[in-house]
Amino acid sequence: MHNIRKIGIRILLILAVLFLYQRGVEYLYRPHNETITFINKERREYDGEIETLICGTSTAQRGIDPEIIDKKMETVSFNTASSLQPLDGTYELIKDVTRNNPVETVILGIAPDIMMKREVDTKYKSRLYDRLQSPVSKFKYQLRGCSVDEWPYMMFYSARVEDYFAGESIRENINVKQSEEYKAGQIIESNYKAKGMIANKKKLKGEQPDVLTQGESEFSADKVKAHNLESLVEIAEYCSDNQIELILVYIPLPGKKIQSYGDITTIHDYFTEFAKKHDALFWDFNYHKELKTLFTNDKFEDTKHLNRNGAEVFSEQLADMYYRYHTGENIEEDFLDTCPYYVASEAVGEKDE
């Protein structure tokens, strides 16, 4: 007994020191403009109200603007997508948000590359981990999605700090954090837009190639890793069990990227089948009849992500489609039988504006 008390006190002491230390390190080293701080704060403010949840990888994080969704779909939405978000993490995240919120719709931006990935880097897992708010969700994800060796990185900010001696940036960081604007909740210098969305003003400069070329990350059903498919099924089943509408969207890509996936038809067919089998919706915007006119180069930040303008356009299209779908209109007419970039009638060599 005496031993247990002795040990217990010491363990508490260690935890207390670690906790205080982490707080100190975060104050000094966590960048004042790090988006996760704003995202978590804002989500807590909307606790109990979120009806539409947006998740997925960086394409969803940058492509879907909750403010437009809110206005057009007359809902309260939040974007919890993050870079290379692993699907088992997305599953935990959906459960985490649903715990305290009356979620009715989940919009999941599908990512063929994530489906084929065996494991994502610890850094990306931590971005997902930071978005989980309840300790139960955090612990569950640690057990399920992280190896034990990754736990210190997840739990301790001090393990993530890359440069302890960056004097200049520490000073700047502290200065900002002590300023009145920051204390009042103003966001200083960040790509953060609102409600979880990251939006960049950068525009793609490249030309879209005219000739189809085979890329490296060619998608096929046998390249999909079993555990990823399992997580996707779990998401679908969870939504179905909880009367949540699951909408899988394939966010538009610039022509160049579409071609790097080899055959976009494979992707389309795969997710169409999945959606049918699991009672979900799948809207493939890369088959949208106006893909080439709506999503030109200037709507993209790079060869994968929509920029601020592109996100506006896409979010409007998405919200519009949702509205029309729920008022009984036939949205199938918005989609072609194949990707507009594959339409054979257009001569090879013709350049798009």
Partner 1 sequence: MNVNSFSFVVFVAILVLVYYAPVIRKFQWIVLLVASYLFYALNGAENMAYIMITTVVTYLGARLLDGKNVSQEQFIKEQKGVLPKQEIKEYKEKIKKQKYRITLVCIVINLGLLIFLKYGSFLAGNAGKLFNHKEWSELSIFHLAVPLGISYYTLMCIGYLLDVSKGKCRSEKNLLKTALFVSYFPQITQGPIGRFPDLASQLFGTHKFTYENLAYGCQKMLWGFFKKMVIADRMKPMVDTIFDNYQNYGGFTILLGCMYFSIQLYADFSGYMDIVSGCSSMLGIRLAENFRRPFFAKSLDEYWRRWHMTLSAWFRDYVFYPLSISKAAVKVGRVAKKIFPMRISKLAPSIFAMLVVWFCTGLWHDASWRYMFWGLYNGVIIIASMCLKPQFAWCKEKLLIKEGKIWKLFQMLRTFVIISLLKVFPLAATTGDSLAMIKKIFLSFPTEISVASLLPGMGVEDLFCVIVGLIIFMCISLRQEKEPMHEWLSRRPFVVRWGMYMILLLFIVSFGVFGTEATGGFEYAQY
Residues numbered 65-124 forming contacts with partner 1, rule: CB under 8 A:
none
Closest CB to partner 1 among 28 and 229? 28
- Among residues 262, 257, 267, the alpha carbon closest in space to that of 214 is found at 262
Binding partner 1 (rule: CB under 8 A), the pick from 12, 13, 136, 143 is 13
Q: What is the DSSP string of 255-268?
A: HHHHHHTS-HHHHH
Closest approach of partner 1 to the CB of residue 243, in Å:
39
Q: Residues touching partner 1: how many (CB under 8 A)?
A: 22
**Cβ neighbours around 309 below 10 Å, total:** 16
End-to-end CA separation in angstroms for the chain: 79
Under the binding rule (CB under 8 A), the answer on residue 23 touching partner 1 is no
- Helices and strands (DSSP H and E) totals, the chain: 16, 7
- Among residues 82, 86, 186, 91, the alpha carbon closest in space to that of 131 is found at 82
Q: CA 98 from chain center: how many Å?
A: 17
Closest CB to partner 1 among 121 and 181? 121
Closest CB to partner 1 among 140 and 203? 140
**Alpha helices of 225-263 — where are they, by DSSP H?**
226-241, 255-260
Cα–Cα distance measured from residue 177 to residue 30, given in angstroms and rounded to the nearest whole number? 10
Half-sphere exposure of 328 (CA within 13 A, CB side): 0
Question: Interface mask (CB under 8 A) for partner 1, residues 146-185, using x and -?
Answer: -xxx-xxx--x-xx-x-xxx--------------------
Under the binding rule (CB under 8 A), the answer on residue 7 touching partner 1 is yes
Q: Single out the segment in contact with partner 1 by CB under 8 A; choices: 17-25, 87-95, 246-254, 297-305.
A: 17-25
Q: Single out the segment in contact with partner 1 by CB under 8 A; choices: 13-21, 235-243, 255-263, 269-277.
A: 13-21
Binding partner 1 (rule: CB under 8 A), the pick from 21, 47, 207, 230 is 21
Closest approach of partner 1 to the CB of residue 6, in Å:
6
Q: Which residue's entry shows tokens 């399920």?
A: 144
Report the amino acid identity of residue 202: K
Which residues lie near partner 1 (CB under 8 A)?
Answer: 3, 6-7, 13-14, 17-18, 21, 25, 147-149, 151-153, 156, 158-159, 161, 163-165
